């Protein structure tokens, strides 16, 4: 089986990315975006851009027979801060009034559920592997290339957030990640079924 893992191309169809990303945390994505069409609109706007949380500039893809088998979107802490501000300012332009209002309301709780990345961290915003391709080594290849990007950016830690009940947790632990923070927002859990999330870290370099 030949899989090509490389920096992403902006020509990748947004539909393929939206389907893959939605599957990583359906309850959370359903709460934030309301429906996949909203996520698709955002990706369609940001993916080909130079800035934004979903910009191809910060992504790696695993391609198999011309299709996206895996995706990793990661940014240094400084890049993440700048891209977050860009996305907040521009996502409303891609959405209808009601969709933008819903997104703004949902994002109100995200800084409670997801801790801010530490300084000199490389933050993995999105990580997904096609279910049919799991167990083939794609995940390890994506993390290897992302680690090189992180080290080149002067980072000494990789971090990510994941639902505590996600099967991927065991994979992250297997490759050396540990749980730094456990977060639960009662209103999200009680009203929307969005339970505990883990902020996991992997040390990749020495602090100054």
Instruction: Convert the pLDDT of each residue in 74-108 to its tens digit.
Output: 999 999 988 988 888 888 788 888 998 998 899 88
Is 163 inside a domain boundary?
yes
128 phi and psi angles, rounded to 5 deg: -155, 140
| Domain assignment present for 208 | no
Domain that holds residue 25: 4-203
* Average pLDDT of the residues in 189-197: 96
What band does 132 get if pLDDT is binned at 50, 70 and 90? confident
Q: What is the CATH number of the domain that holds 179?
A: 3.40.630.30
Specify the pLDDT at position 1. 61
Q: What share of the chain is helix, strand, coil (3-state, %, to 5)?
A: 45, 25, 30
Whether pLDDT at 207 is above 60: no
Residues of 101-138 as b/e, b for ≥16 C-beta within 10 angstroms? ebbeebeebeeebbeebeebbbbbbbbbbbeebeebeb
Q: How high is the pLDDT of residue 206?
A: 54
Phi, psi of 74 (to 5 degrees): -140, 150
pLDDT in the model for residue 208: 46
Count CB atoms within 10 A of the CB of residue 142: 25
Q: Is the pTM of this model over 0.85?
A: yes
Residue 137 has a pLDDT of 87
Structural domains in the chain (count): 1
Q: What is the mean pLDDT of residues 39-52?
A: 92
Q: What is the DSSP letter of 56?
A: G
Q: Answer yes or no: is pLDDT of 128 > 60.
A: yes
By three-state DSSP, how is residue 175 classified?
coil
């Amino acid at each position: 089986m030949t899989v090509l893992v490389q920096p992403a191309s902006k020509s990748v169809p947004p539909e393929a990315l939206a389907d893959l990303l939605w599957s990583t945390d359906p309850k959370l994505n359903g709460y934030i975006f309301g429906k996949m069409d909203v996520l698709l609109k955002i990706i369609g706007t940001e993916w080909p851009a130079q800035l934004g949380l979903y910009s191809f500039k910060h992504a790696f893809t695993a391609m198999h027979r011309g299709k996206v088998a895996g995706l990793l979107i990661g940014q240094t802490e400084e890049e993440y801060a700048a891209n977050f501000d860009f996305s907040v300012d521009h996502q409303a332009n891609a959405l209808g009034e009601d969709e933008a209002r819903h997104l703004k309301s949902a994002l109100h709780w995200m800084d409670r559920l997801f801790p801010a990345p530490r300084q000199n961290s490389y933050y993995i915003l999105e990580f997904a592997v096609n279910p049919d391709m799991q167990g083939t080594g794609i995940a390890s290849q994506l993390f290897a290339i992302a680690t090189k990007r992180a080290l080149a950016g002067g980072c000494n830690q990789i971090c990510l957030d994941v639902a505590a009940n996600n099967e991927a947790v065991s994979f992250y632990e297997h490759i050396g990640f540990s749980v730094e923070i456990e977060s639960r927002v009662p209103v999200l859990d009680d009203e929307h079924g969005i339970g505990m999330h883990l902020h996991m870290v992997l040390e990749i370099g020495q602090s100054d």
